[in-house]
Amino acid sequence: MLALTAVLSYNILEMKRRVHFASTHLESRNAMRQTRRHFVKNVATAASAMAVLPVFPFDFPLRTTSVSPNDKISFGVIGCNGMGFSNTRSLLKIPETRCLAVCDVDAGVSERRANDLVKLGGPRPKIYGDYRRVLDDPDLDFVVIGTPDHWHCLITVEALEAGKHVYVEKPMANSIRECDIMLRAARRHDKVVQVGQWQRSGPHWEAAVAFVKSGALGNIRTVKTWAYQGWMKPVPVLPDTETPPGVDYDMWLGPARKRPFNRNRFHFSFRWFWDYAGGLMTDWGVHIIDFALYGMDAPFPKSVMASGGKFAYPDDASETPDTLQAIYEFDGFTMLWEHATGIDLGPYGRSHGVAFIGNNGTLVVDRGGWEVIAEKENDPEFRASVPLVKVPEPRPRTGNDLDRHTVNFVRSLKREETPNAGVEVGHKTAVVAHMGNIAFKTGRKIYWDGDHFAGDDEANRLMTPTYRSPWRLPEY
């Protein structure tokens, strides 16, 4: 009966999604329009008069309908080399949006992205090298922050103070205290913050969680989370060099410590250096761990211990571990995180995923879909081994979850929805991931009391970054 309930929950979720999309498409034809200025001033009070976003295909062409410039919601993107521009492309599939500014410390990147936006049918954006000029722009309603992690806190807080809504890439910040500051700032300024944990907008992820919460799996004792990343090869050791032309390297470093320029620390590979990010734990971990916490309705863990190191590529240039296991203790269950680079064959034959292990069976979900693996027991009456949970058909992913995530963000700006990965979601998941890294760095089991680590000065020091002058950690 519980398994049937779970399957029905999935079907109901899918039906609601389709009905909502259909009704949205119908409503959008006759919905009242408003100017962008009116939107900025009255977003909270005029929601009932605002247009519902139309349905559009989650692929190109970007523009499916014509919207007056006065009706558009305008944004700028800060850090536009990788996910910053992926988010921009996704947002531009929504007819109400337009990108009016790009900002990057690499002038070559910002110029290329400005040209890309023109090719995609939009106006040529303003180009900035200093994010503060973007925040000063009165024509922008929100900003997309696609910078390295060590910049997320400072830019997000200043954007909120400037009256902008924020779409910020994951992880929300590069330390626990920065996450706390961002949470308090978002609450104080009452602006929409969406974190780029786009799996939160995936229907098949939501359906998997509905099955978990139905109780069909029985008592869940352990949740496994993992990311095995075969595409990650050794980071070659490179010498320091002069800063390339057109790069404002001092601005790129920002609050991080002063270092000579090295290509290993620049653009994509910044992720493998502690000054700027937390390795795979905070890169993939926040996506995957998020659904373990969500599926279990879990608070913060009571303790965590971790072990690992540079075992795959001990002599490469990266700092963060290429192999790591972390065990988190909650009331009634444990959660295991593990990652490995250079190999793909993770648990259950999947390169990444979450496994909810219950007495009756295990549900495994990744970006491709989800399935249930039943436990079995011998039935003397039938002289056979019978499953303890009715196994539904495997549920594959459909559509583009990033596009759903940006749609949810824009609808949240219009007060039609709430953010699927708002500041509270981003805060908890990033803090839990950072707890795992801190346990690895200390080499011992650490205990969380709700605000800091009990009786552990070293672990507590690792919660707060040291900002390089003249940058200062925001106070909230």
pLDDT in tens, 39-49: 333 333 222 22
What does the pLDDT read at residue 65? 58
Burial class (CB in 10 A: 0-12, 13-18, 19+), 418: exposed
- Single-letter residue type at 62: L
Domain 203-398+425-455 top-level CATH class: alpha beta
Q: State the pLDDT confidence band at 382, using cuts at 50, 70 and 90.
A: low
Adjacent-strand bridge partners of 370:
365, 395
Task: Indicate the average pLDDT of the chain.
Answer: 88
Beta-bridged to residue 229, according to DSSP, are: 341
Report the 10 Å Cβ neighbour count for 51.
20
270: pLDDT strictly greater than 80? yes
Q: pLDDT tens digits, residue range 399-413?
A: 999 999 999 999 999
pLDDT (mean) for 108-117: 97
Residues of the chain with CATH 3.30.360.10: 203-398+425-455
The C-alpha atoms of residue 76 and residue 216 are separated, in whole angstroms, by 46
Element spanning 473, H or E = none
CATH topology of domain 2-200+405-423: Rossmann fold (3.40.50)
Per-residue pLDDT, 383: 62
Q: What pLDDT does residue 395 have?
A: 79
User: Can you state the angle between helices 107-119 and 83-91, rounded to 10 degrees?
Assistant: 20
DSSP 299-347: -S-SEEEEEEES-SSTTSS--S-SEEEEEEEETTEEEEEEEEES----G
Q: How many helices (H) and strands (E) would you count in the chain?
A: 14, 17
Question: pLDDT-based confidence at 386, cuts 50/70/90?
Answer: confident
Residue 385 pLDDT level (bands cut at 50, 70, 90) = confident
- At residue 392, the pLDDT reads 85
Name the segment(s) of the chain with CATH classification 3.40.50.720: 2-200+405-423
- CA dist., res. 404 & res. 200, Å (int): 9
Q: Between the CA atoms of 241, 129, 278 and 264, what dihedral angle is there, to the nearest 10 degrees?
A: -20
